[in-house]
Chain A
Amino acid sequence: MRICLVVHGFPPVERTGVEQYTLGLCRALARAGHRVEVFVPRKDPQLADLALRREEHGGYAINWITNNQDPTSPREALLVPQLRNAFAAFLERERPEVVHFHHLIKLGLELVEVARERGLPTVYTAHDYYPVCHRYTLLRPDLSRCDVRGDSRACARCDLALSHLNAQPALGDYHSGALRAQLSAEAWSGLQAILADRASEAGFTPEAVQEASEQRADLDRLRAAAYRGFDLVLAPSRFLIDELVRGGFARERIEYAPYGFDNADLAALPPPRREPGRAPRFAFLGGVAKHKGVHVLLDACAQLAGRAEVSVWGGSSDKRYVELVRQRCGEVGAQWRGPYERAELPEILATVDALVVPSIWVENYPLVIHEALAAGRPVLASRVGALPESVQDGVNGLLFAPGDADDLARALRRCCDEPELLEQLARGITPGRTMELEAHELAARYAALRARRAAPPAATTLPPSLVSILARYEEFSALPARELFVRVLSGLDDLREEWAGELGPVEAVDLLAIGLGEGSEAQDRLREARNEIAWLRTKKEELDEGREELMTLFEDLDKLLNDTRTGSKRQAEHLESAGTYVRQKEGEVSEAHARLRELEAVIADKNRHIGQVEGHLQDAGRYIRHKEQEYRDVESELHKAAEFARTKEEELRAVRAAGEAGQQKERSLELSARSASQVGLLAVQAQERLLNESLRPILSSLHRIFAPQTELLLPKQGTPFVDLLGALAQVRNALEVLEKEVSWRRQLADELNWRRGRMEKMRMLVNFWLWRLPLALSPLGREVKKWDAPPNREPQP
């Protein structure tokens, strides 16, 4: 029969239980004459994704499908659509008659559908609890047992808890579960809060919790549909069957099929014997992972005070835990041995009196127990999961409470105290099932499934003459491509030999050379493919360059977002202080504005006074000039009068000379000259008085401006005209001073305007950052928004 085994890993790449078991099954089926093709994923950075490499191993072949992509989400861990077509092409080529799935992680649920679409019988062996628990183990991330089944909200809490653990650097690269001692009090408290449905205490929003629940419900639905679609489900333990049934599987669809083993090399070991005085030798063998409970064994070892030898063999990807165990071995006097190969097992078990399996998870069917039993070594195992189905307390081993170092220490001490106990338990070991037997039973199951699938066809309209030829065609169609090729080559050899009489002897290789010399489609396509690959590489390089640019951009954006998110407080403080500064400056500007307005008012008042003074001065000037003109006119009149007097004197003298009668006339003329001179003096005095009166208000105004605190000294009545001109010169000097002050005030106003402009730019900058950063609606943003329209922005002239 042509059998396809599908498994998530295979030796030598992966070496844990399921992989080793599948290898043993392959060999046994091949020995039984079946043709086995293993379909298994692996990472190989040297190969492109989906590259398939087939390795022939004499009766079975491993088909490595390359998948270098790691899942980035729970959905990607469950569904791997890129493998769908590769698996379909593999089935088309190899034409298995049955597909037996051993695991779907790294492969995707789609593969089941692909096999079913081709009408192939499908078998699934449950090796763990993955069909009902996405964590495989029924353990929660705090390593406590989970008793909930089918509740997506509870399962989503595990998802959230894992993402919580992902953020714990103390766990290294392995975040599947944590011991309390590995986490800080705060991290442990957060983990417990999440698992107790109080995820908000660990920083998860109600929306995030809801989203995780919905996603988990969706994925659980997909997983359940795929796993319930198998034609036959096998389980190696009754405990596992019960758990699958609890998880929704129909009991009648599951068959109990304990593993077979290929442990002939171990059966030859001599039974353990306690030489007198020698301490019993216990060993842990297997994956050094937290759920395997190695730390429980070491805690128990610490209580033995050196009465027994304890060694730990194995390794795992949980490097922090491995290191913890290694250190703890040193502390409690146990031997740290590290990883081992299956081939070394006889040699290792030869140095061991009993195996210890201290698992804290519900173990299913650990191979190492049956390897130890095959070697005649009793087993001390946790009373958990399916372990009691392999280890019968007091018969072929001892059982102790899971996770209970004290109880394990009691069992170990019992072995120390009772010298005959281990030999007695060794005698209670019965031979295990062989892999041959399992392969035989499996083949019978496969055949039954095939027979069920190949039910007699319904009444057909096929003409009877076609029945046999059609059957022959279908027989050929069902053959793997490789076998078809072999048959074709064999048939062509027959034809060539038959024609040899006509052709003469000719070798197949010569004919092939002739044929290929005329051109080969495969070669053509290979060349085309090379060209396409070269082209694609060029494009990829271009894309890579573009991607790098994009990545740089994204990094910048991420950085910005990160700065915004993680540093929002600092940003806010920074902005707040900037806002305070801006507000302070705004206040100062407002005060400066107020002072400016006051100064402007003063200046306006001064200007108004100066205007008035100027008006007065102009009036006074006009008046003075008018009076000066009048003075000059009076002077001219006086000159004329003096000339007239001189003329009259001459006339008088002429008259005197003329007669006595003229003396009277002389007196009268003399009197006229005196009255004219008196009139001129009176006019000058009137002008002086008028100028004096005009200067007085001007001097009063100037006094208020320049020296209001001093006594006001005004020109007295009757101040001569020359002195008044001196006062007038003082007024002019005061006006010049006032003009200078006005000029200085205007410069001050310009500077204030410049400062206002600077403040405006600062306001715009703050606004810009507020809108770039998501702070526009913050109190700061609202405050800054008010700056947009400050009152009375226009500067005063």
Chain B
Amino acid sequence: MSRPVSVVMPSLEDLDLFERHMPALLAELERRDAKDEVVVVDDTGRDVLAGPLGARWPGVRVVANKENVGFARAMTAGIQAARHELVFAMNPDVLVRRGFLDPLVACLAEPDVWAVVPRILLGGKEDKIESWAFLRERNGLLELDQPALSGAANPGALRLSPVAFAVGGACLYRRADFLAQGFDPLYEPFYWEDIDWSWVGWRAGKRVLYQPASVVEHQHRGTIGRRVPPGFVRAMVERNRLLFAWKHLDEPELQRRHLAALYRWALDTYLEDRREDLVWLAFALDRVRAALDSRKTLPPALLSVSEILRRSRPEE
């Protein structure tokens, strides 16, 4: 029998998503017959999910936060409540396909695997893979690189391979590992906390894997984007990208290049009247102290950033 898994889902009021996606998940768990469990974290702060979810799917556990704490802390609460060693963290907007879990569980049999991510199809489209994802350094700045997201055929995305990080919206890891580190509150309320957590694994000499044999669909609908002013979500992404760099860049040459890029970026954006970029920079620098404090708490790294960037990419 396969190892049991706790599926943990932080949620706001996403009843419609549960209605659409929960049946496939429960069917897969039932098919596995491994005593898996589903833990939903009600992060509305108003305990609005337990009733309807309990009535619809009595086997689903609901953990209700007393107040809205955001994605990272809600996930932590859910994982703390999980009963199994293996945790599949997922968002309610993910629709699992049959047989998605076993290939992931198999990967985690290897002790040096920190986390494993399935083939996540954006919008369910076979040629838009979100999770074959890497980081790269270009002109002094760290960038997210998702080469299989563009729709172009990419044979590498059909092979088991290392990736820079496991997308937090659908990935499998060990409960103990997560609780030992957790998501860094530096990135609250959202974005890049999953990258940071994967990076902790890489720094410790572990690996993060992409398992294309496991397939889920990300039925993205941008719920946050509808609740905040335009530009805020992008500002969060850009801010956290910089905070990640300030926390992790550990080689003087990279640091120098990075600082030089930041000065150039600031000057360019100011001269070109690109206000938004200046807002991102100022928004990030507003948290520079917190990033540097977080940097100080990092344990010694077995691998440098350059080495991780190299190893976390499949060989050409």
Chain A residues in the interface with B (C-beta under 8 A): 89, 92-93, 460-466, 469-470, 472-474, 476-477, 479, 481-482, 484-485, 487-492, 494-496, 498-499, 502-504, 506, 508, 511-516, 518-522, 525
Contact = CB atoms under 8 A, between A and B. Distances in A.
B231 to A, nearest CB: 7
A476 B275 CA distance: 10
Contact of B267 (A472, A481, A502, A522): A522
Q: Indicate the size class of the contact surface on chain B.
A: 35 or more
A93 B276 CA distance: 10
B48 interface: no
B272 A522 contact: yes
Contacts of A479: 279, 282
Contact of A518 (B139, B229, B288): B139
Contacts of B271: 522
A499 B140 contact: no
Contact of B256 (A462, A488, A491, A511): A511
A507 to B, nearest CB: 10
Nearest to A467: B68
Interface stretch (B18-26, B80-88, B106-114, B257-265): B257-265
Given A481-B275, A495-B288, 20 more contacts: A462-B227, A463-B189, A465-B189, A466-B228, A470-B228, A477-B279, A481-B273, A484-B281, A485-B278, A488-B266, A490-B285, A494-B289, A502-B252, A503-B256, A506-B256, A511-B259, A514-B256, A516-B267, A518-B261, A522-B272
Contacts of B265: 515
A93 B270 CA distance: 10
Interface string B121-150: 000000000000000000110000000000
B67 interface: yes
B157 interface: no
A465 B70 contact: yes
B256 A89 contact: no
A92 B255 contact: no
A476 B287 CA distance: 13
B268 A522 contact: yes
B17 interface: no
Closest 9 CB pairs between A and B?
A: A491-B285, A515-B264, A515-B260, A514-B260, A465-B70, A484-B278, A522-B271, A512-B263, A522-B268
B282 A496 contact: no
B292 interface: yes
Interface string B56-87: 00000000000111100000000000000000
Given A470-B232, A488-B266, A495-B259, A464 B227 contact: no
B228 A465 contact: no
Nearest to A510: B260
A464 to B, nearest CB: 5
Nearest to A477: B279
Which of A460, A495, A520, A525 has most chain B Cβ within 10 Å? A495
A472 B284 CA distance: 11
Contacts of B100: none
B68 A463 contact: yes
A511 B69 CA distance: 39
Given A463-B68, A496-B259, A472 B286 contact: yes
B266 A492 contact: yes
24 contacts: A92-B273, A463-B44, A466-B228, A469-B188, A472-B283, A473-B229, A473-B283, A476-B279, A479-B282, A488-B281, A488-B282, A491-B284, A491-B286, A502-B252, A511-B259, A511-B260, A511-B263, A514-B260, A515-B263, A516-B264, A519-B139, A520-B267, A520-B268, A522-B271
Nearest to B223: A461
Contacts of B255: 499, 502-503
Contacts of B43: 463, 465
Interface in B190-238: 224, 227-229, 231-232, 235-236
Contact of B227 (A460, A469, A472, A496): A460
A518 B250 CA distance: 21
Contacts of A93: 273, 275
A466 B227 CA distance: 10
B264 A464 contact: no
A465 B74 CA distance: 11
B186 to A, nearest CB: 12
Contacts of A485: 266, 270, 278
B260 A518 contact: yes
B254 to A, nearest CB: 10
Contacts of A503: 252, 255-256, 259
Contacts of B259: 492, 495-496, 499, 503, 506, 511
B288 A494 contact: yes
Which of A460, A463, A490 has the largest count of B CB atoms less than 10 A from its CB?
A: A463
A492 B256 CA distance: 12
B246 interface: yes
Contacts of A473: 229, 232, 235, 279, 283
Contacts of A464: 45, 67-68
A512 B279 CA distance: 19
Contacts of A491: 281-282, 284-286, 288
A461 B46 CA distance: 13
B189 to A, nearest CB: 6
B12 interface: yes
A88 to B, nearest CB: 12
B119 to A, nearest CB: 30
A158 B267 CA distance: 54
B272 to A, nearest CB: 5
A319 B260 CA distance: 60
B227 to A, nearest CB: 5
Given A495-B259, A520-B267, A521-B272, A515 B278 contact: no
A476 B261 CA distance: 22
Nearest to B226: A461
Contact of B292 (A462, A472, A498, A525): A498
A510 B128 CA distance: 42
A155 B270 CA distance: 48
A83 to B, nearest CB: 17
A492 B189 contact: no
Contacts of B231: 477
Given A503-B255, A519-B139, A463 B292 contact: no
A37 to B, nearest CB: 15
Contacts of A92: 273, 275
A518 B141 CA distance: 12
B14 to A, nearest CB: 12
